[in-house]
A and B are shown apart, each in its own frame.
Chain A
Amino acid sequence: MFASALRGLRSAASLQGLVLLSAGALVVWLVSVPLLFLLATAFRDTTDALPFEPGVAWTLGNFAQVFLNPVLYRQVVPDTLVYTAGAVVLTMTLGILFAWLVERSDVPLRDFLFIAIVSPVIVPTVVVAIAWVYLLGPSTGWVNLLLRSAFGLPGPGPLDVFSVYGTIIVQGLALVPLSFLFMSAAFRSMDPALEDASALCRARPLTTFLRVTLPVLLPTTLALLIVVSTLTLEGFEIPMVIGVPARMQILSTWIFFAINPPIGLPNYGQIAAIAVPFVILGAALLVLYNRATRVAERYAVVTGRAYRPRRAALGRWRYPAFAAVLVYLLLMLVLPAAVMLAAALVPVGEASRASATLQPFLNVLTSSTTLLAFRNTLLAGGLSATIVVFIACCVAWIVVRTRLPARYLLDFMTFAPLTIPAVITGTAIGLLYLVMPIGVYGTVWILVLAYATRMAVATRIMRASLIQVHRELEEASHVSGARWHTTFRRILLPLLAPAAILSWLLLFIVSFREFTLGMLLYRPDNVVLGVHIWRLYERGYIQEASALGFVMIVIVLVVGFLARRYLVPRLGEA
């Protein structure tokens, strides 16, 4: 495979070949090497040893120890299934409902609602999770205090976020923006003439929805189901903050505690053995996803074109529907921000306004750890986003423009990280650089390497963008006398810049919110904001944690607002 790739590249101009080859090598190094290393580790006897220390033998024992462990079947698997199924059902239902409301009904203020539903996505999930604890914690949660004083109830309760339901509801709500975006794009690009045609055949609206709309959207819905299931399964913040106190053992937290055991050294071979079925499952889901999206593409009716939709009249449900979306916004953005601010200013449980103080903001914002966390967050986010955008451009070009046989493998490798839970990616990368003595372990550089595995979405964006750039635009430049690098600089780069900037920003926001990889690879030197806030919260610095949480919400909202205001219009133009 690589020999033929090399031969293909050698025939191309040398600089072009060099650039593309280095991008391919980066993908292999970032994605494949850690995973293969992890898979190999699963077969090493690592009791009290690292996997490739001298004297360590090959074994199948890890699998026996992990998969014959009754805890797995009595607790981890049932808990994970209940949690995943519950959250997926909730997020899909709300996502499809909201998408239909905004794209296909006459609900008022649709543009505002669109932003309202999407904007919570930029708030770090760990902050939202902590905010929900402040709101619905059984003993001192604000809502519980309110209910108790209003109805004269005894504490704790009556509501308890630390429960199966609490975990499912918070996780389900956290993914609504994503499923909403997915489905609203599908609704928007579906030709309403299909529904009109059905109506002209005298089908009633409900019949049309069931027999035409749903089947046409089915492949997209399936693709969404796969993505949401993967993201729920790999979700770590909410299982950690809410699920663990609720005595739930979900796979992601189970793996985390296996890596960070209360006593002794972690047994990496056993952890790797847990990861094996995930990697296999991930590959299977990836194949399924590709098939679902390919079917969606074959249903040529869902095209990239935007149609003017016909909207259903909601009648007296117009305002209740509007209010339902507002409740969502309240729960996922307004209340978390408010409770964070309040908890920063006033110690939890003390309702007196007299003790309110700005001191926690000063404390947390001037601490050297916070400054280090800021620096690490920006550095790891910015650098990894730059690397990924470079990879995405090159891989997209190889996949779209060349006939190299290796291009499918490359495409698969860039997409694979999407289906592998972050807990496992983090484990693999941590383990690899723990063993490989190149000095990145425990530094911010290992975060760069870990964040840079998130190349799936950016590659897809760049690919879609490159497909829009007609091949003849490049060829016209060659015929005009320009070599590959001139063509790249003067034609391709300017045309791809909007998509590249968009990808970079998305990656940066994802890194800013990042918690899982930061936790798995945490050492005092590479603390990032998400991890810092968690450590403050965990050690009882509630006011400082809240102050930092509030600051993070403000930062992402301001950045999101500016990007929307100044960048999105310019993207639309190009």
Chain B
Amino acid sequence: MARLPRDEYARRYGPTTGDHVRLADTGLEVRVEADDVGYGDEPLFGFGRNLRSRMLQADRATSESELDFVFLGVLLIDPLLGVRKTNVGVKDGRVAAVGRVGRGHGELHVGPATYPYPAHGLIATAAGVDSHVHLPTPRLVPAALSAGVTTLITAGFEEPPFGMTRMLAAMETAPVNVGLQACARTGDPATSTPLLAAGAVGLKVHEDYGAYPDVLDAALRSADAHDVAVCLHTDGLNESCEIDDTVAAVAGRTVHAYHVEGSAGGHAPDNLLLVAQPSVICSSTTSTLPFTTGTAAEHRDMILAVHGGDPHAPEDVAAVDERIHPATMAAEGPLHELGAIAIINSDSQGVGRMGETIRRTWQLCDVMKRWRASDAGRGWPPGPAPDRPRDVPTVYGDPLGPDDNERVLRYLAKYTLEPAIVHGISHEVGSLAPGRLADVVLWRPSHFGAKPDMVYKCGFEAWGPLGEGNAAVERSEPTAYGPHWGATGGAGALLGTTFVSQLALDEGIAARLGTRRRLVAVRGTRGLDRGAMHAHRTVAPIEIDPVDATVRLGGRVLAVDPVDELPLNRRYFLA
């Protein structure tokens, strides 16, 4: 009777149920919760392997069920599907099924035209959804893809319609999903309508164009009329309004509050009070996460640079300095850990880094695990548990010790499912549950979160560390991130989705743009509150000291000490 020692099994076919996998050089370990593959019948491609006719390949000719691509034996980490060893089948650009390869009902049909991607020992996640992207230059797109991000929701500033049309034309062959947000800049909802008709996926209210209560109200009324998201960067001067006035203007309507910590912009010093508002879904930018010894020092010049500040004007410098509060920076990570801040996005070149959304999320996850074990972090309630797949049994007394699955799934959702929900695109992206686009990132566990092994767009190889072209094998050095076939020629247009409003579709944007890309309307963006989030349902009634900005929850200071060293960092990157 054939048997394999468990360590030998993991070496051959990748980790299975009960095994623990350390995520890169972090202190995080996931436990494999389930294995769909089938011991003995692991599908394998290659010389002497079993994915051939008469064996695990089903020879039925091309049919409705036959997969285009299949990721074999991969460790899937997914907000909706948990941590499971499985095969991921792709058909027509979407995840068709996740599970066992075979011929029975509900099993993956690997047929004579299915292309296998052997992925044993690798981790698969959904590609990142970056919901706060400034795209001042085309150079940001390679940075995003090289880090495992395939969905870009811009941060506003895309108006006028003339510019939006050309921006979308420029993105025609980029193998990413893109949604351009436009700024709502008046107290009249009607001024937003032409922007939504021209292709804006949502509206942004930004203090640099006036984040006045009436402007916010107008944006929300327009959004309610057209089912689009509103993103908010509040009035950092407290010139037109203070935090209470902004909350009054929101009036219980759904808003995505950008960089809620406040240093990157917003009511000083208490923008973070928005975490107490159930209808405000909060996000953080890469520049303040995790809180490190240099976070505050970096921000003065960064803010002056991106907001047109004059470093020689004392009043500008003073205003910027009063935006920067180490105390709120110290509370931001814990609020993520408690499930009160839902989203991490880059704020690329608007004080954040395009290629670090995913990396910093995992760095934060690692820092917060350590915070929970510290005096400052002990005794706080757990974050809301992400929903678990029903077929996963609870494990008592794991011989390998506790795992980090719940925390890992919550942090993963911060850059995948949660932003997808808020922006009305969770039917397309944010998870690899069947039905979504097969925007897959494969990772070697040693490089998880730092450097992808390959980025797939709609199941097609799009971007990765490709090797030298003359070599007899792939991945011959020097390897460097760059375009695969999915990012070459016209392929990107057949792989990329452009997210727009239903209004834009109704007004004929497809014919006007003449695009080959899929155009998809966002939906379900209104009426959301924390309860609609996957793993961030906490409403945190914090208090903020108006002078030193110390954050308290239930009377206790909520803070993490700044750290001076991070994982996923200097081991991995040339510097």
- The finding on whether chains A and B are genuine partners in a shared complex, rather than unrelated, reads no
Contact residues of B with A, CB < 8 Å?
none
Contact residues of A with B, CB < 8 Å?
none
